[in-house]
């Protein structure tokens, strides 16, 4: 069966060394030295925090966007992609009160999320995890995960600036950026 439930455990151990942690809005995550990506619920009990999310079907992409994404995107764990970013995000109640078509309009017609993101493929590989449907106590709505080669880190910063300047980000009420390197 395809694995869909993933955890990110922050603590003293893990494959990924923390380069920096930055809280953009909302309650910060406690600082940790390393992060491990785990499958299912297999986190070490010693972890300082464990964030869990599940991959899911897409909600908003059109056929045309999906075709472009499939053509350009690469998988995780490429040998050269030794840098990563874990960016947990929560959106506010106003966002979740909107119907699907209005959320799509904000994300795509007004904020051009996919169009902006496509400019950074295939250098950035990504995986989106949803948290809301796991239960009522998840601290974030999404765990976003990105992998890229070190020389692409500056371009990745530009991507973050572009997305955070959009209307979509007015609905973000908690966001922490954890930058990592493997080893
Ligand atoms: C690397 C380039 C990127 C591409 C190609 C991309 C593409 C996408 C696409 C296609 C979706 C919609 C999936 C659906 O239809 O449900 C999405 C959702 C999302 N992306 Fe990105 N993205 C990129 C970068 C980012 C970055 C850097 C962040 C965080 C700073 C981010 C945060 C999110 C979040 C939170 C969602 C879920 C939004 C929601 O459902 O309300 N993305 N992304």
Residues 72-118 have pLDDT tens digits of 999 999 999 999 999 999 999 999 999 999 999 999 999 999 999 99
- Please check the confidence at residue 1 and state whether its pLDDT lies above 70: no
SS (H, E, C) 99-166: CHHHHHHHHHHHCCHHHHHHCCCCCCEEEEEECHHHCCCCCCCEEEEEEECHHHHHHHHHHHHHHHCC
pLDDT at position 179 is 98
163 lines ligand 1 (CB under 6 A): yes
113 lines ligand 1 (CB under 6 A): yes
pLDDT at position 40 is 83
Q: Kindly report the protein residue whose alpha carbon is nearest to atom 5 of ligand 1.
A: 117
Q: Kindly report the protein residue whose alpha carbon is nearest to atom 11 of ligand 1.
A: 114
Q: Helix, strand, coil proportions of the chain in percent (round to 5)?
A: 30, 35, 35
Q: Output the CA 40–ligand 1 centroid distance in Å.
A: 22
Q: Output the CA 12–ligand 1 centroid distance in Å.
A: 29
C-alpha to C-alpha distance for 19 and 34, rounded to whole angstroms: 9
pLDDT at position 10 is 97
Mean per-residue pLDDT of the chain: 96
The answer to whether 33 and 17 have CB atoms below 8 angstroms apart is yes
CB-based contacts of 111, cutoff 8 Å, min separation 6: 163, 166, 167, 168, 169
142 lines ligand 1 (CB under 6 A): yes
pLDDT digits (tens, 9 = 90+) for 49-76: 999 999 999 999 999 999 999 999 999 9
Pocket test for ligand 1, best of 57, 127, 128, 133 (most atoms within 8 A of CB): 128
pLDDT at position 176 is 98
114 lines ligand 1 (CB under 6 A): yes
- Please check the confidence at residue 29 and state whether its pLDDT lies above 70: yes
Confidence (pTM): 0.98
pLDDT at position 183 is 80
Atom of ligand 1 nearest to the CA of 65: 10
pLDDT band at residue 163 under the 50/70/90 scheme = very high
C-alpha to C-alpha distance for 96 and 149, rounded to whole angstroms: 35
pLDDT digits (tens, 9 = 90+) for 102-161: 999 999 999 999 999 999 999 999 999 999 999 999 999 999 999 999 999 999 999 999
pLDDT band at residue 165 under the 50/70/90 scheme = very high
pLDDT at position 61 is 96
Handedness of CA 36, 18, 48, 170 (dihedral sign): negative
121 lines ligand 1 (CB under 6 A): yes
Q: Output the CA 113–ligand 1 centroid distance in Å.
A: 7
159 lines ligand 1 (CB under 6 A): yes
CB-based contacts of 57, cutoff 8 Å, min separation 6: none
pLDDT at position 56 is 97
C-alpha to C-alpha distance for 183 and 176, rounded to whole angstroms: 22
Residue with tokens 């959320």: 103
């Amino acid at each position: 069966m395809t694995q869909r439930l993933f955890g990110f455990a922050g603590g003293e151990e893990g494959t990924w060394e923390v380069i920096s942690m930055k809280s953009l809005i909302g309650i910060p995550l406690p600082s940790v030295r390393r992060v491990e990506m785990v499958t299912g619920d297999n986190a070490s009990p010693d972890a300082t925090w464990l964030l869990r999310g599940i991959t899911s079907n897409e909600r908003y992409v059109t056929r045309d966007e999906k075709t472009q994404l499939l053509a350009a995107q690469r998988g995780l764990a490429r040998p050269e992609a030794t840098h990563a970013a874990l960016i947990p995000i929560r959106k506010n109640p106003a966002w979740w009160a909107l119907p699907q078509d209005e959320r799509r309009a904000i994300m795509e017609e007004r904020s051009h999320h996919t169009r902006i993101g496509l400019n950074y493929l295939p250098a950035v590989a990504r995986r989106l995890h949803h948290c809301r449907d796991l239960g009522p106590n998840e601290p974030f709505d999404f765990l976003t995960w990105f992998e890229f080669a070190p020389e692409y880190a500056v371009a990745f910063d530009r991507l973050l600036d572009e997305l955070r300047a959009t209307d979509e980000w007015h609905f973000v009420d908690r966001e922490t950026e954890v930058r990592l390197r493997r080893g």
